Amino acid sequence: MKFKIGNKEILFFLIFSGLVLLGYKINFSPVVGAENQFFTLFQFFGPIAGGFLGTMFGPLAVLVGELANFFLIGKEFIALNLLRLLPMIFAAWYFSSKERRLNLSSIIPLLAIAAFVIHPVGRQVWYFSLFWTIPLIARWLPGKLFSRSLGATFTAHSIGGAIWIWTVPMPAEAWIALIPVVIFERMLFAGGISISFVVINTVLNKLSKWVPSWIPNFVQIDHKYVFSKKIFTSKT
């Protein structure tokens, strides 16, 4: 699709980036094994930027919001902190694809599995990395929206886990103890992503009817997921 970048397009892009920044400011739960680090509201809607803004602009909007938060809170400009920006960028990239087949974004969890199991501790708890096959399996699961959300949140988890095992010392027992926590949190995040996607789709659908001139051409409204009782079981 061809489109021009004007004030309306820039404004819409910045709105999504602003939502990312806002989500960062609302803590949800502490990150196990890290002092003063939290999962935030951002985990519940960050990936949907890919659903509305596409493969290029969705991840870019997430990156802009993350960088804004990065500089506002004065994080140290080191490689590890920059790597921690990657999980949600790739989650948005995963969510941007609606195709029921493997694609380039599916390679990321496979690379994360490889990075995890070559670590000495990772080899002891190799089965923990099986979580990261979910983004591949999710392409063919029924309940398209929830499975897409599940794949996105586990894509983020795979990158975060691969980085974590190489940068934060944790014994194998700690990784084993995390298994039920991961199941609970990621199911919750996937549900939040699905609900957020429906809410934003419904709002944008209304705006496209009331004030169509406000909606930039590059914004993708998925009419299957405008609020209805069938939205969570749509198979197309």
Q: Which residues contact 1 (CB under 8 A, 6 or more apart)?
A: 217, 218
pLDDT digits (tens, 9 = 90+) for 115-171: 999 999 999 999 999 999 999 998 887 668 899 999 999 999 999 999 999 998 899
How many angstroms separate the CA atoms of 80 and 134, rounded? 26
Say whether pLDDT at 97 is over 70.
yes
User: For residue 5, is pLDDT > 70?
Assistant: no
Collect all residues with Cβ–Cβ distance below 8 Å to 164 and sequence separation of at least 6: 33, 170
% residues pLDDT > 90 (the chain): 35
pLDDT at 229 over 60: no
- Per-residue pLDDT at 230: 54
Over residues 38-45, mean pLDDT: 77
Give whole-number Cα distances, 37 to 30, 32, 71, 87, 167, in Å. 6, 8, 16, 15, 15
Asked if 35 and 168 touch (Cβ cutoff 8 Å), the reply is: no
Domains of the chain: which residue ranges?
A: 7-233
Residue 4 has pLDDT above 50, yes or no: yes
Question: Residue 200's pLDDT is what?
Answer: 87
* Better pLDDT: 23 or 169: 169
To the nearest whole percent, how much of the chain has pLDDT over 70? 82
**Minimum mean pLDDT range among 34-38, 80-84, 211-215:** 34-38
Cα separation, 22 vs 37, whole angstroms: 16
- Give the pLDDT of residue 26: 74
pLDDT at residue 212 above 80? no
216 vs 161, higher pLDDT: 161
User: Does residue 3 have a pLDDT over 90?
Assistant: no
Q: Which CATH number fits domain 7-233: 1.10.1760.20, 3.30.450.40, 3.40.50.970, 3.30.1050.10?
A: 1.10.1760.20
Taking residues 89-101, report their average pLDDT.
83
Mind giving me the DSSP string for 205-227? HHHHHH-GGGS-TT----GGGSS
Residue 1: pLDDT over 50: no
- Tell me the C-alpha distance between 63 and 168, whole Å: 24
Tell me: the pLDDT tens digits for 71-85?
877 777 778 888 888
Least confident piece of the model among 14-23, 58-67, 84-93 = 14-23
* Residue 78 confidence (pLDDT): 79
Q: Which residue has the higher pLDDT, 103 or 181?
A: 181
pLDDT > 50? residue 236: no
